[in-house]
Structure 1
Amino acid sequence: MPHPDPGLPKTTATVEERDRTFRRVVLRIIPFVTLVYVIAWIDRVNIGFAKLTMMDDLKWSDAIYGAGAGIFFLGYFLFEVPSNLLLQKIGAPKTIMRIALGWGAVSVLMAFVTQPWNFYGLRFLQGAFEAGLHPGVILYLTFWLPAQRRGKAIAIFMSASPLSLLLGSPMAGYVMKYTDGLLGTAGWQWLFIIEGAPSIILGVLAAFVLTDKPSNAKWLNSEERDHIAYELAKESAEHSGRQHKFWASFRTRTVWVLILSLFCIITGNATLSFYGPSLVAATGYSDITTVGWIMSGIFAFGWLGMIINGWLSDRSRESRWHAACAAALGALGLVMAAIAQQTGSAPGVIFALAVSAAGTMGSIPVFWNLPPRFMTGTALVAGVALINSVANLAGFFAPQFLSGVKTSTGSYSDGLYVIAGVEFIAAVLILIFIRNAPTPQPIRDEMGARAS
């Protein structure tokens, strides 16, 4: 019988007992943080639907919309790393409460914009408040789950992005259509008010639902806390060569490849999120609720892509090929969308956007399995935030680029070809440069049985 590592916490628990503990952890944490992220995404991208009537009401151009949609990511970029460092000091419950209360209030205030500078300022603040939610939850899960249990959890959490668009798209259409003129207020204004309020409620609940770390979890008994400590310590011992120091980690080529790869993926994702409704409307669909249901179907494929690719990645214990192939599929879908738009095929555009959503969104949760294989400690705390914040600057550039192409050519097609090429670069970078990421080994109990 193999001898346990003397440096690890002692445990006599079987794999089945530890599995039950981690199921409790997942059921406690994942549904709530996923709901928070669903609402965050609804508030982030509802501007894509508001655009369909808001621009005419305010007499604004596509250029103003592109700048406002994108400036969100400047606030996101500047405040994401500080938010993650603050999370390490004050814990996830207080951090998520702060984030949700702030962006909820800003979302409601969006209903009252009248000038472009109002629009730009609130979008910047919304990005600044939301900064840290995504990388903060990714970091938070590393406090609770070892890598081989984290893939499906991250996939479920990140499926909030397509799920929010799947649910939020038809909801946005109905809200705008049936509240338009109510109390003398436009439908797009009601959209911001109605969809911003739930964020404030969830922010208050975060302080009561979440626990910052396992050792403070009163809803776990001492044996269950030992199960978590054992598997996390086991994983840490097996990856002792990871970078701990923040600045040292950013002198390595791998980290910058990760940043550039995610930047390319987010370019495609931002295109789908902020211009999907406009691309569908450009094919001849004028009714807002119809556009909403079409976008819901498109993002259903994105949700399936996330869940299926995350499951396949966990099953094979491989992330590099799964992330790269999904990104390549996302790029192919954008090329197909450009061709379909040029030929005037509405079904072709819809199918192509569904393919792109499945690939692009399916690549993101698997991608996030890569950074923890190269970093830990402070490097991981700040590194996850910096990778995400720099990469999300793509959300600033993509809308402005597409609005510029549309203004100069009258069509989105040329811009879609370029963005498809950018996203394909992500697949190439991951396959060529991310070669030495060690695959996490299954954690075994003292009798050598593999954890499920």
Structure 2
Amino acid sequence: MNTLPPPPADMPDHALHSAYRKTAWRVIPLLMVCYLVAYLDRVNVGFAKLQMLDDLKFSEAVYGLGAGVFFVGYLMFEIPSNIALHRFGARRWIARIMMTWGLLSAAMMFVETPMSFYLLRFLIGIAEAGFFPGIIFYLTTWFPSHRRGVMISLFIAALPISSMLGSLISGLIMQTLDGVAGYAGWQWLFVIEGLPAVALGAAVFFLLRDRIADARWLSAEEKRGMQAALDRETRAKSHHSVRDGLLNPKIWLLGAVYFCLVLGQYVISFWMPTIIRNSGVAEPWAIGVLSAIPYSVAAVSMVLVGRSSDRVREYRWHLAICAFIGAGGVVFGTLFGASLWLSMIGLTVGTAAMISSLPVFWGMPTAVVGGAAAAAGIALINSLGNVAGFFSTIVVGWLTQLTGNTQAAMYFMAAALVLGGLLGLSVSRTRSDPVVEIKAVA
């Protein structure tokens, strides 16, 4: 096993910056591609819905429950999965996650009944559990908090990129492959977008490294300097038990903030193709092109917002302003839903703003929890937030079926974003607040 000698005196800033830069280039692109595929496999059911509901005679309520039951499995295994990641190492555990969810996602092509739909979505949730918080925890083992915001922004930039590319690819697959070899377009969609996760799982196993000490691209001096920076941050943290960390009110408050942000994110992800179709666009490829526009803007805005928050070391107002603008954009797009272009302006502004709030948010909990078992604390926050994934799909499916349109659901989402922004402002801004280190209990 590789070990590091005692840390030397502080490295020059330019040398340490070079070490972080090299590490970012080796780690972040692969993680971005993994998250791109992960998010695509999670939300491509929103595009498949355009054909699947008619083919299988599913109602909006059945779709809403099936889309949401993913989060039941995800939440049940979120914290255990992250604890396993800490025990077995990110390289092995993330590879396992990706291979299992890729195979299950491809198996969605065989769905025939509501029960098979529910079961596979539930199993995909179990398989993917721990991926996102696991990556957030993984980044804390390489980058100190003042460098982590940009890294998280770059990683989460895969979300809008995935949605943008997924919209284009999904629309093309469903239109051009419908009926090929006797399978519907939505069936080809699940196969073609699910199997790449299996190959990426193998890439993760061979290319990722679990610790700074194992990084072959760094010199011995660079390894010592990076580890020393993390050690200094660790020594500044207060130490508490797992129980103390999980009962910390700030963690639960951050979970409530994340709940509101995720609610808006998934309403858009699962229903945007339907909203655009209701504006009068019929062809799947055209819906895909239009769905890509808001995400292409979000891919740029979230990195700019993340850099801004990192530069000034401020998160609360960055998050709140993004949430408020997101709500305003959704309301605007809903009020002018009869006009395709006005609706697209609202959806674009709203989607870009709400997605830009996510990397800003993750700069907050990673400053609250730390240490060897921080994965459990981050997973708890992510679990509390992802309850919104299940809740939103059920409520939106029910509201859409009840009212015959998506307007009530959009107003509901806008209200949640406003609440999330207000809760974000209520998070303590005092720099002297103790940072909780969640320690493993034997």
TM-score, structure 1 normalization: 0.92
CA separation in 1, counterparts of 2:227 and 2:426?
Answer: 35
CA separation in 1, counterparts of 2:431 and 2:193?
Answer: 41
Alignment of 1:377 onto 2:371: yes
CA separation in 2, counterparts of 1:207 and 1:109?
Answer: 23
Structure 2: 5+ residue runs without aligned partners? 1-5, 435-442
Change (3 A) 1:218 1:439: farther
CA separation in 2, counterparts of 1:306 and 1:91?
Answer: 29
Alignment of 1:210 onto 2:208: yes
CA separation in 2, counterparts of 1:244 and 1:380?
Answer: 11
2:38 alignment counterpart: 40
Shift of 1:281: 0.7
CA separation in 2, counterparts of 1:22 and 1:108?
Answer: 37
The alignment partner of 1:10 has SS state of coil
One-letter amino acid of the structure 2 residue matched with residue 225 of structure 1: K
Decide which of 110, 115, 125 is 2:108's aligned counterpart: 110
CA separation in 1, counterparts of 2:412 and 2:129?
Answer: 28
CA separation in 2, counterparts of 1:365 and 1:227?
Answer: 26
CA separation in 1, counterparts of 2:258 and 2:400?
Answer: 25
2:271 alignment counterpart: 275
CA separation in 2, counterparts of 1:356 and 1:62?
Answer: 24
Q: Determine if contact 2:28/2:155 at 8 Å carries over to the other structure.
A: yes
Q: Determine if contact 2:332/2:346 at 8 Å carries over to the other structure.
A: yes
Aligned positions of 1:288-437 closer than 5 A: 288-341=284-337, 344-377=338-371, 380-437=374-431
Shift of 1:21: 0.7
Change (3 A) 1:438 1:352: farther
The 10-residue stretch of structure 1 (193-202 or 314-323) with the greater mean CA deviation from structure 2? 314-323
1:202-249 per-position Cα deviation (integer Å, ceiling 9, x unaligned): 011111110011112233221111011111122223x323x5422102
Q: Determine if contact 1:370/1:437 at 8 Å carries over to the other structure.
A: no
Q: Determine if contact 1:81/1:382 at 8 Å carries over to the other structure.
A: yes
The 10-residue stretch of structure 1 (331-340 or 137-146) with the greater mean CA deviation from structure 2? 331-340
Shift of 1:282: 0.6
One-letter amino acid of the structure 1 residue matched with residue 408 of structure 2: D
Q: Determine if contact 2:254/2:427 at 8 Å carries over to the other structure.
A: no
Shift of 1:332: 1.4
1:383-414 per-position Cα deviation (integer Å, ceiling 9, x unaligned): 10011012111011111211111111111111
CA separation in 2, counterparts of 1:436 and 1:334?
Answer: 32
Q: Determine if contact 2:22/2:217 at 8 Å carries over to the other structure.
A: no
CA separation in 2, counterparts of 1:438 and 1:180?
Answer: 59
2:7 alignment counterpart: 9
The alignment partner of 2:336 has SS state of helix
One-letter amino acid of the structure 2 residue matched with residue 368 of structure 1: W
CA separation in 1, counterparts of 2:426 and 2:219?
Answer: 46
Shift of 1:321: 1.2
1:287 alignment counterpart: 283
CA separation in 2, counterparts of 1:226 and 1:378?
Answer: 19
CA separation in 2, counterparts of 1:357 and 1:438?
Answer: 34
1:252 alignment counterpart: 248
1:154-200 per-position Cα deviation (integer Å, ceiling 9, x unaligned): 00101111110111101101111111111111111000011111000
Shift of 1:379: 5.6
Structure 1: 5+ residue runs without aligned partners? 1-7, 441-452
Runs of 4+ in 1 over 3 A off after TM superposition: 437-440
CA separation in 2, counterparts of 1:260 and 1:31?
Answer: 30
The 10-residue stretch of structure 1 (10-19 or 123-132) with the greater mean CA deviation from structure 2? 10-19
Change (3 A) 1:26 1:269: same
One-letter amino acid of the structure 1 residue matched with residue 264 of structure 2: G
One-letter amino acid of the structure 1 residue matched with residue 91 of structure 2: P
Q: Aligned Cα RMSD in Å?
A: 1.5
2:80 alignment counterpart: 82
Change (3 A) 1:335 1:161: same
CA separation in 1, counterparts of 2:416 and 2:373?
Answer: 28
2:24 alignment counterpart: 26
1:4-44 per-position Cα deviation (integer Å, ceiling 9, x unaligned): xxxx8323521111111111110110000110000011111
CA separation in 1, counterparts of 2:344 and 2:85?
Answer: 40
2:437 alignment counterpart: none
Aligned positions of 1:132-143 closer than 5 A: 132-143=130-141
1:95-115 per-position Cα deviation (integer Å, ceiling 9, x unaligned): 111110011000110001101
CA separation in 2, counterparts of 1:438 and 1:380?
Answer: 20
One-letter amino acid of the structure 1 residue matched with residue 34 of structure 2: V
Q: Determine if contact 1:245/1:377 at 8 Å carries over to the other structure.
A: no
1:240 alignment counterpart: 237
One-letter amino acid of the structure 1 residue matched with residue 120 of structure 2: L
1:304-358 per-position Cα deviation (integer Å, ceiling 9, x unaligned): 22111101111212112111211111111221122122xx122121111111111
Alignment of 1:129 onto 2:123: no
